[in-house]
């Protein structure tokens, strides 16, 4: 696999007119690396770092539905690097992502979620003792490189606006570790823009969820001569988390089915479908109308197929 720089992802109009708003979607699900998504955008930067540091194996963390783990293990396999996935026992079903991790030959190490941290340190130590130079990637591609990936995406959005004259008032997307959100916010700060960047939490509750986004923003902007932002400047909403990571309700399934039929775009109930539903509810609740709204499709296409049965009713 050649990790060449890919072009800007497509931004297209959605057939959706809630409250007279115009909706657009940025197709990061079509990033041309291992089924795409925000984890692919981040992974390309992480692997450049891996090669520049001369690391020779990769350790990361994620559940069985993790898109991040699929992509990291795919690229690692293509480069001949051994890959270790530390994964919580509590969240371990035979998803398509997990099956693909097996195809890529990564070693999945299961342990209770409370022991994950120790297990990661232990695995890194074992590899060093064996003479390896391991590289650790935080779950979901969290960290400055992950943030950089969405500063890049923000710049693509700016270029689209400049080319078309369309100005987006809002950007919505699924927020997990908050890295995608931190990158978009940093991109906005660097560009001196005024859009409202709204992360729909897929698991974390506030104030923790918000705080992590702010910490990532501050970490990225450290040493840059830029005015800092406050917790109140971060729009991270936990109203649509339901019972936490992976949980969904019939309204989310209805939303996914509607977007699939109307636009031919697949979404999943853990991330993008939940966020799209959250966006619609937010738009209704806040009576937003007549605006240009951009939704970022952050990927997760294999999860769409895990959900197919639920969509059939």
Ligand X SMILES: *Cc1c(COP(=O)(O)O)cnc(C)c1O
Q: Which residues bind ligand X (CB under 6 A)?
A: 37-39, 67, 140, 174-181, 271-272, 298-300
- Taking every pair of Cα atoms in the chain, the longest distance, rounded to a whole number of angstroms, is 61
Do the beta carbons of residue 311 and residue 260 sit within 8 Å? yes
The nearest distance, CB 285 to ligand X, in angstroms, is 22
The nearest distance, CB 142 to ligand X, in angstroms, is 7
42: left (phi over 0), alpha (psi -120 to 50) or beta: alpha
The nearest distance, CB 174 to ligand X, in angstroms, is 4
**Tokens (6 digits) for 239:** 């109203």
Instruction: Kindly report the three-state secondary structure assignment for every residue of 95-118.
Output: CHHHHHHHHCCCEEEEECHHHHHH
Integer Cα distance of 250 and 11 in angstroms: 28
Q: Which is nearer to ligand X, 184 or 293 (CB)?
A: 184
233: left (phi over 0), alpha (psi -120 to 50) or beta: alpha
The nearest distance, CB 126 to ligand X, in angstroms, is 27
Q: Which is nearer to ligand X, 14 or 174 (CB)?
A: 174
| Residue 239: Cβ within 10 Å count | 12
The nearest distance, CB 28 to ligand X, in angstroms, is 9
Q: Which is nearer to ligand X, 37 or 187 (CB)?
A: 37
Q: Which is nearer to ligand X, 126 or 208 (CB)?
A: 208
Q: Which is nearer to ligand X, 39 or 127 (CB)?
A: 39
User: Is 2 buried (19+), middle (13-18) or exposed (0-12) by CB count in 10 A?
Assistant: exposed
The nearest distance, CB 251 to ligand X, in angstroms, is 19
User: Residue 207: is the preceding peptide bond cis (ω within 30°)?
Assistant: yes
Q: Which is nearer to ligand X, 178 or 266 (CB)?
A: 178
Runs of H (alpha helix) within 106-204: 116-129, 144-164, 179-191
The nearest distance, CB 20 to ligand X, in angstroms, is 28
| Residue 117: Cβ within 10 Å count | 11
Q: Which is nearer to ligand X, 84 or 271 (CB)?
A: 271
């Amino acid at each position: 696999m050649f990790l060449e720089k890919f072009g800007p992802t497509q931004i297209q109009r959605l057939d959706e007119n809630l409250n007279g708003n115009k909706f657009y979607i940025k197709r990061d699900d079509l990033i041309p690396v291992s089924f795409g998504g925000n984890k692919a955008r981040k992974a390309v930067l992480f692997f450049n770092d891996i090669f520049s540091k001369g690391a020779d194996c990769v350790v990361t963390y994620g559940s069985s539905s993790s898109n991040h783990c699929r992509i990291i293990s795919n690229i690692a396999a293509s480069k001949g690097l051994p890959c270790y996935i530390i994964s919580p026992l509590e969240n371990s079903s035979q998803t398509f992502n997990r099956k693909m991790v097996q195809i890529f030959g990564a070693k999945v190490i299961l342990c209770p979620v409370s022991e994950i941290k120790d297990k990661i340190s232990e695995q890194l130590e074992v590899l060093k003792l064996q003479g390896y130079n391991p590289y650790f990637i935080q779950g979901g591609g969290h960290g400055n490189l992950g943030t950089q990936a969405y500063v890049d995406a923000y710049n693509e959005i700016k270029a689209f606006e400049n080319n078309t004259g369309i100005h987006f008032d809002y950007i919505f997307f699924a927020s997990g570790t908050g890295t995608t959100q931190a990158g978009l916010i940093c991109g906005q700060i660097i560009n001196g823009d005024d859009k409202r960047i709204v992360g729909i939490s897929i698991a974390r509750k506030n104030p923790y969820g918000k705080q992590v986004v702010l910490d990532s923003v501050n970490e990225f902007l450290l040493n840059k001569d830029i005015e800092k932002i406050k917790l109140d400047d971060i729009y991270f909403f936990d109203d649509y988390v339901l019972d936490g990571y992976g949980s969904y309700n019939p309204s989310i399934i209805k939303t996914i089915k509607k977007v699939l039929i109307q636009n031919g775009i697949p979404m999943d109930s853990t991330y993008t479908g939940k966020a799209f539903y959250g966006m619609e509810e937010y738009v209704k609740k806040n009576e937003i109308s007549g605006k240009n709204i951009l939704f970022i499709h952050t990927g997760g296409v294999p999860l769409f197929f895990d959900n197919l049965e639920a969509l059939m009713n």
